[in-house]
Structure 1
Amino acid sequence: MKLTFYKGDIPNFGDDLNNILWDALIAPGFFDDNEEELFLGVGSILWDYLPPNSKKIVMGSGYGGYSGKPNLQDGSWDVAFVRGPRTAKALNLDPKLAITDAAILTRFMNLPAQVKKYKVSFMPHWESINRGNWKLVCEQAGINYIDPTDPNVLASLQAIQQTELLITEAMHGAILADTLRVPWLALEPIFPLHRNKWFDWSESMLIDLHFNAMPSSSIKDLWSHKTGKQGLGKRSEQLGSLLSFTNSYFIDRAAEKLLMLAKNHGQMSKDNIFIEKSEMALEKLSKYCKVNFFD
């Protein structure tokens, strides 16, 4: 059984959670490198290009529109549960399988309690780092910066625990904040394709998701906002270099906007829904393997 998740050239908080979550929850010996069986966990990884002859176990994954729709009725898929109702609808699954994102199982990792250190923290989407100036924005605003590309996922989880309010463009920033019972504010992702999956998850948790406008921290951010493109290509790089003198303006304005947002109350799922969904997810997992820890 091979643990399967998205692995890019740059570490990514949500995807890299898989490296520690399943080791914490599942007894040793469950995973190996046998690609005849794939275990799909956290992430928008229900792709149409997964090996057709491999058995694929779906444990809370989602469909994000990053590939064509896979045929989950071809006999090679075993769906324990998926991230939300939009995934279930897109892939013609029973709506009862739309429990929530697998990251909710972080509840059962028995993470040590943390003392609050930060009034506000901010986590951008990992793709926004190369395009923007978010670390400098947070320094200017006096807001704690949580880097979604930090390979030390436990340190990022700890920083979320130490936070009173998380402002995040990263969906798994919100999911983990919600799981760790930290209020969060959602910023609408700059790249439009990243938005639908937020509703997939939030609807699974019966959250009335409210997106706040994502500030622009650079001319490349603004270009991406205006065009709907990622702003990470050669043309964007040339634009950023040519107009780099505007950086201080964008950093100042973005810091002001984050400070304004920090005055708001965050969102969070209701306690009873959170407990119910996390226990449903744990029950599904326990049908496939021996689980190490229970809350």
Structure 2
Amino acid sequence: MKLTFYKGDTPNFGDDLNNIMWDALLAPGFLDDNEDELFLGVGSILWDFLPKKPKKIVMGSGYGGYSGKPNLNDGSWDVAFVRGPRTAKALNLDPKLAITDAAILTRFMNLPAQAKKYKVSFMPHWESIGRGNWQKVCKQAGINYIDPTDPDVLTSLQAIQQTELLITEAMHGAILADTLRVPWLALEPIFPLHRNKWFDWSESMSIDLKFNATPSSSIKDLWSHKTGNRGLGKRSEQVGKLLNFTDSYFIDRAAEKLVLLAKKHGQMSNDNTFIERSEMAIEKLSQYCEVKSL
């Protein structure tokens, strides 16, 4: 059974969690390179372009609207659970299958405890790195920067554990903070298509999600805000180079806004809900896979 998740040219914290979490939870040899069966884990990977023939096991994945809706009635799908009620509704699944995002299973990785080191950390969406100046913004604001494109996922997890409050534009930043019981503040993703999946997850955890406005850290961020586009194409690149003299202005303003956000109280799911949902997820995993002794 082959582990299947989104792999782009740039590493991505949420997707790359698949590389370490399943190895920590599943018996050696359960996952292999046999493409007759696909194991779908963390990510918005319920795409309509997955190969039709292989059997597909869905273990907490979500539908993000990044493709057409897959036909889950073609006989090749076996859904253990999905990320949330919006995924279940979009794909005509039993609402009881909307447990939560698979990343909650990180609870059972037995990660070593970490002493608190940072009052506040910030994690942008991985696409925002190519468009913005977030590392410079964090340095100016005195806030720890967590790079979602760092391929060392364990280091990023440790940084979240060491944080008292995580401000994040990345959904899996919030999910992992919540799982590690670290309060978090959600920044509304600059690209609109990334927003609905946040509600899919938060509704699964009975969280009243409160988005905070994401400041622009560059002229390209502002361009993306105004157009609703990703702001990563050739035209945006040309605008960014032409107007790069504005960077200091945007960095200053974004740093000021992060400092203000850092004074707010974070969100987190209710302890009982978290325990209930994580136990439901590990039970589903145990029904389908050989799980290591936890």
Same fold (TM over 0.5): yes
Contact kept in structure 2, 1:87 and 1:98, CA below 8 Å: yes
Aligned positions, number: 294
Cα displacement (A) at 1:88: 0.1
Secondary structure of 2:57 counterpart: strand
* Residue aligning to 2:66: 66
Give CA-to-partner distance per residue, 1:212-241, whole Å, 9 cap, x none. Answer: 000000000000000000000000000000
The equivalent residue for 2:212 is 212
Tell me the CA shift for residue 293 of structure 1.
3.9
Query: Partner of 1:236 in structure 2?
Result: 236
What SS does the aligned partner of 2:60 have? strand
Determine the structure 2 residue equivalent to 1:46.
Answer: 46
1:179-236 deviations in Å (ceiling 9; x for gaps): 0000000000000000000000000000000000000000000000000000000000
Q: Classify the secondary structure of the residue corresponding to 1:186.
A: strand
**Correspondence 1:77-116 to 2 at 5 A:** 77-116=77-116
Distance across 2 between alignment mates of 1:293 and 1:221: 46
* Structure 2 equivalent of residue 224 of structure 1: 224
Counterpart residue identity of residue 176, structure 2: L
Asked whether 1:250 is paired with 2:250, we answer yes
Q: In structure 2, what is the equivalent of residue 4 of structure 1?
A: 4
1:261 match: 261
1:160-239 matches, cutoff 5 A: 160-239=160-239
**Structure 2 unmatched ranges of 5 or more:** none
State the AA in 1 paired with 2:266.
G
Contact in 2 for aligned 1:108/1:293 (Cα 8 Å):
no
User: Which residue in the other structure is 1:155 paired with?
Assistant: 155
CA distance, structure 1, for counterparts of residue 3 and residue 291 of structure 2: 16
Letter in 2 for 1:254: A
Q: Determine what percentage of the aligned residue pairs are the same residue.
A: 87
Alpha-carbon distance in structure 1 between the residues aligned to 2:169 and 2:263: 17
Structure 2 counterpart of 1:35:
35
Distance between the aligned counterparts of 1:218 and 1:180, measured in 2? 31
- What are structure 1's unaligned runs of at least 5 residues? none
Q: Is the 8 A contact 1:109 1:293 kept in 2?
A: no
Instruction: Give the C-alpha shift of residue 49 in structure 1.
Output: 0.5
Q: Match of 1:121? A: 121
CA RMSD of aligned residues (A): 0.4
Cα distance change on mapping 1:106 and 1:293 into 2, 3 Å? farther
**Which aligned runs of 4 or more in structure 1 are off by greater than 4 angstroms?**
none
Report the Cα offset of residue 73 of structure 1.
1.1
